[in-house]
Amino acid sequence: MKIAVLTKGYSHHKYFISQLSNSFEVELIVKEKKSISPPFNTYHPYQEKEALYEKEVLLKNVNVRLADISKTIESNNINDNVVLLSVKNIKPDIIIAIGTGYIKSPLIEICPSGFTNLHGGDPEYYRGVHNFLWTMYHKDFDKLLVTLHRVNKELDDGDIIKRDKVKIRKNMEIFQFRSEQIKTCLDLATSSISLYEKNGEFLSKPQKQKGRYYSFMPSALKEIAINNFNKFISGGLFNN
């Protein structure tokens, strides 16, 4: 069974791919180098702590190179012809997208039954980007989930294969959340791929409703979301 992973190549993505490769054959990694920049400020100081924490806790301060894990190509656009031909050439059984931009039909059609996306939220309520922050902003803490879903032409709209809650610990700080989120993503992916090997396909269910689309979160709103999360943690309103 051949797996291709499409990614931005951030530290938490490197952790996911390296761990996944310990259990399954990752035949190809595609790194999308460019990201969309919103016309307003989205920076918050917690992001520096987040980056340092992920390098220390997830990567153990090791300089992980995607090319050391598997054959890797880089592109500014996940939908360009170089990506299309490279993915088509390996004839993957499964494609996993994590953190990339919008994926268009020609790429999806290479592997329509096995093309999946790891979404950092509940797509029936939160589609788009910065999902966990928007969930916190709305104090919707029971929806701090990650979801593995099929990829179709509509953004974050595909049938749901599996989803699970992110484990929240007592005294957790916001810069630690994404590390727990990616660990849950890894659990979802490994268990779902194991079932794929057993059944010969992904078992999935259509989404019951189409979640609202959310774009980048401005800095000021991030501060509100983080304050909401801190109050939630200090109140102990979660399962340890």
**Where residue 239 falls among pLDDT bands split at 50, 70, 90?**
low
What's the Rg (C-alpha) of the chain?
17
**Where residue 236 falls among pLDDT bands split at 50, 70, 90?**
confident
Query: For residue 18, is pLDDT > 60?
Result: yes
| Chain CA centroid to CA 21, Å | 16
In angstroms, the CA 55 to CA 70 distance is: 20
User: pLDDT by residue (tens digit) across 19-75?
Assistant: 999 999 999 999 999 888 899 999 999 999 999 999 999 999 999 999 999 999 999
User: pLDDT by residue (tens digit) across 70-121?
Assistant: 999 999 999 999 999 999 999 999 999 999 999 999 999 999 999 999 999 9
- The top-level CATH class assigned to 3-234 is alpha beta
Number of H helices, E strands in the chain: 8, 9
**In 3D, which of 73, 101, 76, 98 has the Cα closest to residue 87?**
73
At 119, which helix (H) or strand (E)? strand 115-119
The pTM of this model reads 0.96
| Both tokens assigned to 181 | 């989120």
User: pLDDT by residue (tens digit) across 211-234?
Assistant: 999 999 999 999 999 999 999 999
**pLDDT of res. 240:** 45
The answer to whether 228 touches 139, Cβ cutoff 8 Å, is: yes
Residues 6+ apart with CB under 8 A from 52: none
User: pLDDT by residue (tens digit) across 146-190?
Assistant: 999 999 999 999 999 999 999 999 999 999 999 999 999 999 999
In angstroms, the CA 52 to CA 33 distance is: 21
**pLDDT of res. 193:** 98
CA distances from 14 to 29, 48, 166, 217, 227 (A): 10, 18, 19, 24, 29
In angstroms, the CA 58 to CA 110 distance is: 32
